[in-house]
Structure 1
Amino acid sequence: MKQLVLSVENLSFQYLGQPNEAVRNVTFHVYKGDWVAIVGHNGSGKSTVAKLLIGLLKPKHGEIRLFDTVLNEATVWQLRRRMGIVFQNPDNQFVGTTVQDDVAFALENNGIPREEMVERVQAAIRQVGMEAFLLKEPHHLSGGQKQRVALAGILALRPDLIILDEATSMLDPKGKQEVLEALIDLRKKQQMTILSITHDLEEAVQADKIIVMNEGEIVANGTPSDVFSLGEKLAEFRLDLPFVMKIKKELQQTGIPLSVHSATIEELVDELWTLYLNK
């Protein structure tokens, strides 16, 4: 049975002076090795959920439990040490003069012995494919490279949960692809537990489970195939269908009998190939 990493039960939050709750009765679970994506348009409540999860906001109602420990003022610092958070703008996270110094910074703060620190830094940089940039200044890197360095800094800490808070939203398509490929590779090799908060369904399609938020509530959840089978209903939640789903729609309109289950390009190609072979 999978180990429960994060449990969110009936979570609600209301900003001071606002007439309505920003988050209402949100419940979901994340298990070890899973990649869960929380998606929604600006103002849907997903960013508020992210702030609640890392203890920046205190819930009005409900409970957040991380690693079987309730998140509260007494436990927040202990629990944050087990989480790695990659934010929207990597420039706001850099403190080192070189890539390797930046990745080592948090390890030094945590008192990791130098020999172990060197090993962790090299391993983390290797995991995100940035070995050739060890002595480069982070601010001279491309957007995708910067986020990979930020991710390496998190990996060096060996967290039990990685939270991506709109981590690809400021990147160009090439940079976004670089970061997603690094994350996909980590999942394959290390079974990292990932929670991504995003408005981008192209990113969410890589997840095991997608949670769709609208007006502070969960309006849909399930596998990418389950969620994308909602089709045009997603537009009601102000979400843009991924490119692969738009292709599927065009193909279906030409009479090709595609199922609702293919959510990635690879799955779509496999399905088209199977249809061709069975002609």
Structure 2
Amino acid sequence: MAEPILSLEEVCFRYPNQSEYAVQHVSFQAERGEWLAIVGHNGSGKSTIARLLIGLLRPERGVIRLFGRPLDETTVWDVRRRVGMVFQNPDNQFVGTTVEDDIAFGLENNGIPRAEMAWRIDEAVRQVHMEPFLQHEPHRLSGGQKQRVAIAGILALRPDMIILDEATSMLDPRGRDEVLETVRRLNRQHRITVLSITHDLEEAAKADRLIVMNKGEVMAEGTPEQIFRLGSKLERIGLDLPFAVKMGSRLREQGLPLRLGYFTMEELVEELWTLYSKT
């Protein structure tokens, strides 16, 4: 079996002057090319994990390994070159006056030759379908477009992993769908490992695997279908099941022979239409 691209072993962390741990005894792995979602309510420890993974915070105990090496002061800069992070508010990441300038900024900081920069920028905007906006001001774009520009800036640096830290929480449904569709395409076509930090289970349903955090600990781990079977346990810790999952469960209770494993209204409607067409 291939070595995981990421592993946490009994990681613990607490903020200064706090008696309780924000993260305690957390262990999990991610494989290359996997999309792993970490879900939990506010204060569950999920965003703390994101900051631990890029070295903004250091664990009090435990070991974090990325790309086969322990994360410490000797490896943190290499890790940051290989891991791109997209934050909740993309405006906080923009430094250039145009989309092109903004993507170029990260490349310049990494010493990429100018001739190579040009085609890297073109390739990155093509991957997120933002070619017509190269000369636009980032701050004048829509929310979904801004996040796609932020992702393009990371893609130009050729990362092995992308971390989405509540990256869709401020977007409208269309903007969220744009970003998630882009991430899924990159994940599948280029085997970029994706780690999404979110409280939105409908978004998390798109991942290959979910980790549920509660009070700094891993409460559950599994595929979306396995996790959604927890039902009321998730609701008790402040997580809202996707509407399609709740509706499907109610319909099965009423005797409809619906299969398990669909998480969107489109999938549920298709299943209902299929059943209706057979009657």
Shorter-normalised TM range: over 0.9
1:262, distance to aligned residue in structure 2 (A): 2.9
C-alpha contact (below 8 Å) 2:205/2:263 kept by paired residues: yes
Residue 77 of structure 1 aligns with which residue? Answer: 77
Residue 136 of structure 2 aligns with which residue? Answer: 136
CA displacement, residues 106-155 of structure 1 (integer Å, 9 cap, x when unaligned): 11111111221111101110111111111100010011100000000000
1:261, distance to aligned residue in structure 2 (A): 2.9
Residue 172 of structure 2 aligns with which residue? Answer: 172
How far, CA to CA, are the matches of 2:64 and 2:169 in structure 1? 26
C-alpha contact (below 8 Å) 2:3/2:68 kept by paired residues: no
Residue 199 of structure 1 aligns with which residue? Answer: 199
C-alpha contact (below 8 Å) 1:228/1:263 kept by paired residues: no
How far, CA to CA, are the matches of 2:275 and 2:68 in structure 1? 46
How far, CA to CA, are the matches of 1:208 and 1:196 in structure 2? 11
How far, CA to CA, are the matches of 1:121 and 1:206 in structure 2? 28
Residue 102 of structure 2 aligns with which residue? Answer: 102
- TM-score w.r.t. the length of structure 2 is 0.94
CA displacement, residues 148-181 of structure 1 (integer Å, 9 cap, x when unaligned): 0000000010101111111111112221111111
CA displacement, residues 65-88 of structure 1 (integer Å, 9 cap, x when unaligned): 000010012211121111111111
- Residues 191 and 275 (structure 1), Cα distance of their counterparts in 2 relative to 1, 3 Å cut: farther
C-alpha contact (below 8 Å) 1:226/1:261 kept by paired residues: no
How far, CA to CA, are the matches of 1:202 and 1:48 in structure 2? 22
Amino acid at match of 1:118: A
1:45, distance to aligned residue in structure 2 (A): 0.7
Task: Look up the SS of the partner of 1:108 in the other structure.
Answer: helix
How far, CA to CA, are the matches of 2:231 and 2:259 in structure 1? 12
CA displacement, residues 197-217 of structure 1 (integer Å, 9 cap, x when unaligned): 111111101100000000111
How far, CA to CA, are the matches of 1:175 and 1:270 in structure 2? 24
Q: Provide the identity percentage.
A: 62
Amino acid at match of 1:130: M
1:267, distance to aligned residue in structure 2 (A): 5.0
How far, CA to CA, are the matches of 1:176 and 1:62 in structure 2? 35
* Greater alpha carbon shift after TM alignment, 50-59 vs 32-41: 50-59
C-alpha contact (below 8 Å) 1:50/1:165 kept by paired residues: yes
Residue 190 of structure 1 aligns with which residue? Answer: 190
After TM superposition, list the pairs within 5 Å mapping 1:17-166 onto structure 2: 17-166=17-166
How far, CA to CA, are the matches of 2:234 and 2:259 in structure 1? 18
How far, CA to CA, are the matches of 1:266 and 1:251 in structure 2? 16
CA displacement, residues 223-251 of structure 1 (integer Å, 9 cap, x when unaligned): 00010111122101100111221221232
Task: Look up the SS of the partner of 1:81 in the other structure.
Answer: helix
- Residues 18 and 196 (structure 1), Cα distance of their counterparts in 2 relative to 1, 3 Å cut: same
C-alpha contact (below 8 Å) 2:202/2:264 kept by paired residues: no
Task: Look up the SS of the partner of 1:43 in the other structure.
Answer: coil
How far, CA to CA, are the matches of 1:260 and 1:232 in structure 2? 17
Amino acid at match of 2:39: V
What value does the CA root-mean-square deviation take over the aligned residues? 1.7
Number of residue equivalences: 279
How far, CA to CA, are the matches of 2:18 and 2:3 in structure 1? 37
Task: Look up the SS of the partner of 2:159 in the other structure.
Answer: coil
How far, CA to CA, are the matches of 2:78 and 2:13 in structure 1? 23
After TM superposition, list the pairs within 5 Å mapping 1:260-279 onto structure 2: 260-265=260-265, 268=268, 271-272=271-272, 275=275
Ranges in structure 2 where 5+ consecutive residues have no aligned partner: none
1:266, distance to aligned residue in structure 2 (A): 5.8
Task: Look up the SS of the partner of 1:91 in the other structure.
Answer: helix
CA displacement, residues 26-68 of structure 1 (integer Å, 9 cap, x when unaligned): 0110100000000000000111111111111111111000000
How far, CA to CA, are the matches of 1:71 and 1:228 in structure 2? 33
Ranges in structure 1 where 5+ consecutive residues have no aligned partner: none
C-alpha contact (below 8 Å) 2:242/2:264 kept by paired residues: no
1:270, distance to aligned residue in structure 2 (A): 5.9
After TM superposition, list the pairs within 5 Å mapping 1:239-278 onto structure 2: 239-265=239-265, 268=268, 271-272=271-272, 275=275
